[in-house]
Structure 1
Amino acid sequence: MGRRPGVTATQPDEPVPELASLPDTSATPDHRWGFGAFLVVEATLLASAAFISVLLGPAPPGQAIPVSDVLIGTMLPTAFAALVAVLFTVWRGNGPLIDLRLSWHWADVRLGLKLGVLGLALTTVGAFVWSQVVGPNNSTSAISALVEDQPMSVTAAVIMFVYLWLIAPICEEIIYRGLLWGAVERLQWGREKWGRLAAFLLSTAVFAVSHLEPLRTTLLLVIAVPIGLARLFTGRLLGAVVAHQMNNFLPALAMLLTALGVMTL
C-alpha cells in the first residue's frame, strides 16, 4: 500500500553488525602480491629495528638511553615497514586504496569507536589480571619500560604520544589487517565467509606474536580481537584503524604523563 502524502516512513532500527559484503572490485584486476609480500614486510620491520639498534649503539654505562634514540628506534622500523607494504600494492597491485580496502565511511568510524571502547575495557581488565599473574614488573610493554623514570622534553613526549596514539595504529593496520589480510583474501576461498574468519584469526595471532614480547602475547591477543572484528564486520581497514587508535589512547596518554614525570607506571 502507498503512503499518504505528508506521512514519513519509520526508519528501521540500526542493524546488528554482521559480516559485510566486500567492496565490489570486479572492475579491477586482483592484486599479484600475497604471503611473500607480507613476509618481506615483516622481515623489513625486524631487520630495520635491528639495524637501527646497532647503528645507535648501546647506552653509555650507568646512563639511560638517549631520548632521540628512543624516538628513532620506536618509530622508524614500523613506519618503514608500512611504507614497503604500500609500495607492494603499487608495484604488484592496484594501489593501497583498493588493495588494502582504504576508504572513508562514517559507519566504519562509528563501529571503530564502539569496538575501540570495548578494546579499552578489555585492555584495562586484561592488563590488571595479567599483572597479577606475571607481576607488575613483567607486564609493561617494551616501550613503557624505555620511558619509565626517564623524563623527556615536552616536544619529545608529545611526539611519542602522537605516534603511539595515531600513527603507529595506521602503520600496524596497513601491515596486519591490510597486507596480511589481503594475502589470505587472495586465496581461492579467501573472499568467502570462512576465509575471512581465517584472515581474522591469523592476523590477530600474528599481530600479537610479532611484538616479540612473550610475556604479553596473551594480553596482546585480547587487545587485538576488537580491532580485528572491526575489519571483519566492515570489510574495510578504516574501522580497524579507528578501533586501534581508540585502544591506544589511554596507554599513550599514560606514557605521555610518565615521560613528563607527572605520574609513574
Structure 2
Amino acid sequence: MRHRTGLPRGLRAAGTVTRDRGTGTRLLAVFLVAELALAGTSLLFALLLSRAGWSPAEVGQPLWPLPLLLVVPALVAVLVAAGGLRLVGGGPRPGRVRREWAGVRRDVLVGAAFGAGGLLLVVPAAAMWSAWTDGGGSAAGHLLDGREPGLGAGIAIFLTVWLIAPIAEEVLFRGVLWRALEHWGCHRWVVFAVTTAAFALSHLEWQRTPLLVVVAIPIGLARLCTGTVTAAIAAHQFNNFLPALATLLTGFGVLD
C-alpha cells in the first residue's frame, strides 16, 4: 500500500511512503535509542565535568564547557540515528541516509519561508508567554543570566543554539520519528501532531511546553509540505536565530 501526502506536486519531494509496520517499528526503536544516547551522553559529560569541579549553575565558573555539553550529545544522537537508519530504514540500503535526509535548494528556501512566516505566530506567543511567566527564559538563557561567557564561548553557544541544535532535533523528531509514523500508515496530520507534541515535551521544560508547541508548528508544516527534513531544519534554524542572538546579547549584558 502507498501512503500519499495529498499535497501539491511542487511541494512534495518525498510524498509517497510504503506502509511497512516492521520498518516503522524498527525506526521507532532507532528514535528511542538515539534519544537515550542523547540523554546518556549528556549525563556522562555532565558527570565528567562535575568531577573536574565545573558546574554550569555556579556563578564564577567559566562557561566554555557549556557549548561542548550541548554539542557533543547532539552529535552522538545524530550519528546513532544515521547508523540506525542505514541498518533498518526502508528501501535499498545503499543511499538510505541520503534519501531520507537530503534535500535540494528549494527545500531550504521553502523551510526558511516557513520559518519567517512562523515568526508571525511565534513572536506574539513568546511575548505572551514571557508576560505570563514574568520574563522566564529557556534553560540555556538562565545559565547565561548575568554572566558574561567570553567571546569564544559566547559565539560557540550562539552557533550551537542557532545551527547545531536544530539539526539534531529535526533529524530525530521530523526525520526518524516522522518516517516511523509514516511507515505505520498514520495520517499526515497525525504524524504532524505526534511529532509536534513529542518535540515540545522532550525539552522537559514544562512551563515552556505550550510555547514550544507553537514554535514547532511552522517547522512541522515545512516538513509536511516538502516531504524532507531539510526544510524542517531550515525552518528551525531560521526560528532559532533571534533567540540565539538574544541569549548571546543577554550574556554580554547588552540586553536585560
Q: Same fold (TM over 0.5)?
A: yes
The residue matched to 2:98 in structure 1 has which SS? helix
CA distance in 2, matches of 1:250, 1:60: 23
Who is 1:148 aligned against?
A: 145
Aligned position for 2:115: 116
Aligned-partner Cα distance in 2 for 1:216–1:34: 28
Q: Tell me by how many angstroms 1:238 deviates.
A: 1.3
* Residue in structure 1 matched with residue 4 of structure 2 by the alignment: none
Which of 175, 179, 187 pairs up with 1:178? 175
Letter in 2 for 1:229: L
Q: Does 1:85 align with 2:81?
A: yes
Structure 2 gap ranges (5+) = 1-6
Specify which of 27, 36, 55 is matched with residue 29 of structure 2. 36
Query: 64, 73, 94: which is aligned to 2:69?
Result: 73
Residues 135 and 199 of structure 1, relative CA distance in 2, 3 Å threshold: same
Tell me how far apart the structure 2 counterparts of residues 179 and 236 of structure 1 sit (CA, whole Å).
11
Aligned 8 A contact 2:59 2:147 in 1: no
Q: C-alpha deviations, 1:43-64, integer Å up to 9, x for none? A: 1111222222222115399634
Identity %: 37
In the TM superposition, 1:160-199 aligns within 5 A as 160-187=157-184, 189-190=185-186, 194=187, 196-199=188-191
Residue aligned with 1:182, SS: helix
Aligned residues: 238
The structure where helix makes up a greater share of residues is 2
Aligned to 1:104: 104
Q: Give the alignment's Cα RMSD to 1 decimal.
A: 2.5
Amino acid at match of 2:40: A
For 2:86 and 2:114, locate their aligned partners in 1 and report how far apart those are by CA, in whole Å: 30
Moved beyond 6 Å, runs of 4+: 15-19
1:17, distance to aligned residue in structure 2 (A): 9.2
How high is the TM-score relative to the length of structure 1?
A: 0.81
> Which moves more between the two structures, 81-90 or 220-229?
81-90
Distance 1:261 1:46, change over 3 A: same
Residues 62 and 92 (structure 1), Cα distance of their counterparts in 2 relative to 1, 3 Å cut: closer
Counterpart residue identity of residue 96, structure 1: V
List gaps (5 residues or longer) in structure 1. Answer: 1-14
TM-superposition CA deviations, 1:165-191 (whole Å, max 9, x none): 11211111101100111111221x24x
